[in-house]
A = this chain, B = another copy of it.
Amino acid sequence: MPATPFLAVDAGTVERNLAAMAKTAAARAFALRPHAKTHKVVELALRQIELGAVGLTVATIGEAEVFAQAGVKDLFIAFPIWADEGKGARLRALADNVSLTVAVDSAEGARQLAATTAGRSISAAAATGDPAIDAPIPGSAENRRTASSGAPIYVLVEVDSGHHRSGTAPQDAGQVALAAATAGLQVGGVFTFPGHGYGLGNRANAAADEARALVTAVAALAAAGLESPVVSGGSTPTADAADASILTEVRPGVYLFNDAQQVEMGTCEWDDVALWAVATVVSRHGQDLVLDAGSKTLGADWPGWATGGGRLLDHRDARITALSEHHATVRFPDGAGLPGLGERLRVLPNHVCAAVNLADELTVLVDGVAADTWRVAARGRNS
């Protein structure tokens, strides 16, 4: 085993989680497009495809480049990228090699994407100003011609279903889609991220909000004369509750590993968690001990509803009361015996996506024995 702290993955549990989500999606006739930002690992991406995923979701161009290079043929960048000239050229190169879909949530963003992926910049005024959504922009006919000279770039219009991050209001999705189509992009439909489903007891409401927003968005596209073959939603907490009468596709990410948040939300059981940090007890005082895995290993995510800064897999009544960069302080209940100095403990991060992005590789356990390593190939690919 490596020196602590390190991240370990139980291969059997990952495989079970992958198969279970594939089965659930198939049973409900959802296309499954897992979000690869969680694992950033080529081996896992290819396994997701083998198990029937239609393609992958990613968050950045850099992630898309890693998975395209690895042979994944259908990628959706679920982020409303502002495509400057450099990003436009990279998106063009991707689209010429894979089926590429990009999020848009504004008419300006769509026009910019169309222009730069066609190798043209648009004027700074058009880019950064606030023109009426349907105002003509200089060179739009030219954009259309040039954009269509390469492989198509598909877009999904992002709508806000209650998470209040990016995404247009659902009723405005038609205007955005029309601007995209006019600029020469291929409108594939609509999507949302019901991120407000994270939290205690929020899952069903968030899934209902998701369905309602997507219905409105599909109607808005139809009113603009555009179809929505793809209606995409879903996250690990809301995937089970996603409305199969509305959604065509789900995009869960965390499900293959799970984490302390998913356990505390009730999305999964303890036995479904496939990734943990292995840490060593380095200090003990009273009912507290200190582990050598802190926020630079686990990540600093700590939602207000969480019971602590992560959980101990083998000491479920203990609480992580503080995280420093290299320390986790763990409080054990009064009277409970504490692990000894030098013992290795398994720690579930609150948010597995953040923990994985801090590691260069994952140690793969088969029947509890280190059998392989997976490189976190897309680690740090933020742009």
* Interface SS, A side: loop
Q: Does A292 contact B (CB under 8 A)?
A: yes
Residues of B within 8 A of A340 (CB): 127-130
Chain A 129-149 interface residues, beta-carbon cutoff 8 Å to B: 129-130
Closest Cβ neighbor of A328 among chain B residues: B165
Chain A 318-365 interface residues, beta-carbon cutoff 8 Å to B: 322, 324-327, 329, 339-343, 351, 353-354, 357-360
> A325 contacts which of B105, B106, B285, B354 (Cβ < 8 Å)?
B354
Interchain CB contact under 8 A, A343 and B166: no
Closest CB in chain B relative to A40 CB, distance in Å:
10
Interchain CB contact under 8 A, A282 and B82: yes
Interchain CB contact under 8 A, A326 and B282: no
Known contacts A4-B383, A290-B165, A112 near B82 by CB under 8 Å: no
> A327 contacts which of B4, B109, B166, B288 (Cβ < 8 Å)?
B166
A-B contact pairs, 25 of them (CB 8 A): A3-B383, A5-B383, A59-B325, A60-B326, A79-B282, A79-B292, A81-B282, A81-B292, A82-B292, A84-B280, A106-B283, A108-B342, A112-B342, A128-B343, A129-B340, A160-B285, A164-B329, A165-B327, A166-B282, A166-B327, A195-B324, A299-B300, A300-B300, A326-B382, A358-B358
Q: Does A301 contact B (CB under 8 A)?
A: yes
Closest CB in chain B relative to A103 CB, distance in Å:
9
Q: Does A175 contact B (CB under 8 A)?
A: no
Please give the count of copies of this chain that the complex contains.
Answer: 2
Residues of B within 8 A of A4 (CB): 383
Q: 11 new A-B pairs (CB below 8 Å) besides A3-B87, A165-B329?
A: A3-B61, A82-B292, A109-B282, A112-B341, A160-B285, A164-B288, A195-B324, A293-B382, A295-B299, A296-B354, A300-B351
Closest Cβ neighbor of A87 among chain B residues: B3
In the complex, which range does the number of interface residues on chain A fall in? Answer: 35 or more
Closest CB in chain B relative to A101 CB, distance in Å:
17
Interchain CB contact under 8 A, B354 and A109: no
Q: Does A297 contact B (CB under 8 A)?
A: yes
Closest CB in chain B relative to A128 CB, distance in Å:
3
Residues of B within 8 A of A342 (CB): 82, 84, 108, 112, 124, 127-128
- For the complex of A and B, the 5 pairs showing the least CB-CB separation, nearest first, are A128-B340, A300-B300, A3-B383, A166-B283, A127-B342
Closest CB in chain B relative to A347 CB, distance in Å:
13
Interchain CB contact under 8 A, A106 and B37: no
> A383 contacts which of B2, B82, B105, B164 (Cβ < 8 Å)?
B2
Interchain CB contact under 8 A, B297 and A382: yes
Chain A 51-96 interface residues, beta-carbon cutoff 8 Å to B: 59-61, 79-82, 84, 86-87
> A341 contacts which of B106, B281, B322, B341 (Cβ < 8 Å)?
B106
